[in-house]
């Protein structure tokens, strides 16, 4: 298999308050900047799309059904905690064909050793349709931490997803 000629990326922010205009979404745009820098450095063609949703499982589920077949990479921000409106994980997990638990477990442990509250994030990663999906917390600081680790493995993850063997031969 080959890499797609262009990566279509969807960044979804889930926030009742940002959706209602109470404050501006800062996490989604920051993810966009980090992904753009990475894809540019790889020399991969791409287009990034943004969607702002309230914390609503039905709306997220409908969007993801279609998005999993249209996009190559989906990153959500928000809704990964344990509050009553945190619905991202319950919506995403049943839709995954494969989960990639190691990256999110590592991030929780790495940052949780310094800030135990980081252990409360329930973010997941996996394959949804033809897309890689990562679910990140809603804070800009958490987005920075998660993206720092995700981007270290993203090239290899994409190669694996498309069946490209880049392992060194011994």
Give pLDDT tens digits for 51-106. 999 999 999 999 999 999 999 999 999 999 999 999 999 999 999 999 999 999 99
Category of 163 on φ-ψ map: left (φ > 0), alpha (ψ -120 to 50) or beta = left
* pLDDT of 170 above 60: no
Separation CA 153–CA 159 (nearest Å): 10
Q: Which CATH class is domain 7-161?
A: alpha beta
Q: Which residues pair with 13 in a beta bridge?
A: 52, 77
169 pLDDT tier (thresholds 50, 70, 90)? low
CA-closest candidate to residue 11, choices 62, 70, 75, 59: 75
Q: What pLDDT score does 166 carry?
A: 78
Tokens of 11: 């960044």
Report DSSP state, residue 87.
-
Residue matched to tokens 């404050």: 23
Sign of CA pseudo-dihedral 111, 130, 160, 34: negative
For residues 78 and 18, what is the distance between their CA atoms, to the nearest angstrom? 11
Any idea where the domains of the chain sit in the sequence? 7-161
Q: What is the pTM of this model?
A: 0.96
Q: Rounded to the nearest 10 degrees, how much is the dihedral formed by the CA atoms of 127, 5, 47, 147?
A: 50
Q: Which two tokens stand for residue 144?
A: 């920075």
């Amino acid at each position: 298999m080959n890499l797609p000629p262009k990566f279509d990326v969807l960044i979804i922010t889930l926030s009742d308050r940002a959706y209602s205009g109470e404050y501006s979404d800062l996490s989604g745009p920051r993810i966009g900047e980090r992904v753009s820098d990475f894809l540019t450095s790889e020399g991969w063609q791409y287009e990034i799309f943004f969607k702002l949703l309230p914390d609503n499982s039905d709306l997220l589920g409908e969007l993801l059904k279609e998005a999993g077949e249209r996009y190559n990479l989906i990153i959500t921000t928000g809704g990964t905690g344990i509050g009553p409106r945190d619905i991202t994980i319950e919506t995403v997990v049943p839709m995954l064909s494969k989960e990639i638990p190691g990256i999110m477990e590592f991030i929780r442990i790495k940052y949780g050793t310094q800030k135990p509250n980081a252990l409360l994030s329930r973010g997941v990663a996996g394959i949804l349709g033809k897309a890689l999906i990562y679910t990140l917390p809603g804070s800009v600081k958490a987005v920075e931490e998660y993206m720092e680790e995700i981007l270290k493995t993203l090239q290899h993850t994409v190669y694996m997803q498309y069946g490209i063997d880049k392992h060194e031969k011994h």
